[in-house]
Amino acid sequence: MNEKKSDLLQGTLDMLILKTVALGPIHGYGISLRIQQISQEVLQVQQGSLYPALHRLEHRGWLTAEWGESENGRMAKFYQLTAAGRQQLVAEAENWQRLSQAVTLIMALEGGTK
């Protein structure tokens, strides 16, 4: 039924959400817009993944949420990073650094491509 995303992808989405929320309190719609904008339309977050991920992160205690007025005057649920979430973000960022460097190193090898 609901296909489970691979760990890498799921972990990456979590990290992106944490990073986006780290910039300041933001609601779910805002997060999807911001990721899209900052990544210059490369990354498009499916709502089907975004909201379950937000709730999961909230239940893990990495995010807290509060209802507040949005820019268009409606009530929206604003997410905010907790101390634990900040630590998690640092850890995941470091992890991501290592991983992407490693991938870059391998891909930088001469030959094969082309």
- Binding to other proteins (CB under 8 A) within 62-101 occurs at 67, 70, 72, 74-77
**How near is the Cβ of 57 to other proteins at its closest, in Å?**
9
> Quick one: which of 37, 39, 46, 100 contacts other proteins (CB under 8 A)?
46
11 touches other proteins (CB under 8 A): no
3-state secondary structure of 21: helix
> Quick one: which of 8, 48, 106, 113 contacts other proteins (CB under 8 A)?
48
How many of the chain's residues bind other proteins (CB under 8 A)?
23
**How near is the Cβ of 12 to other proteins at its closest, in Å?**
18
81: exposed, middle or buried (C-beta count within 10 Å: 0-12, 13-18, 19+)? buried
51 touches other proteins (CB under 8 A): yes
**How near is the Cβ of 100 to other proteins at its closest, in Å?**
27
Q: Dihedrals φ, ψ of 86, to 5°?
A: -65, -45
Q: Cα separation of 78 and 75, whole Å?
A: 9
Q: Dihedrals φ, ψ of 81, to 5°?
A: -80, 140
> Quick one: which of 5, 12, 34, 52 contacts other proteins (CB under 8 A)?
52
From edge to edge, which strands make up the β-sheet containing 63-69? 26-27, 75-81, 63-69
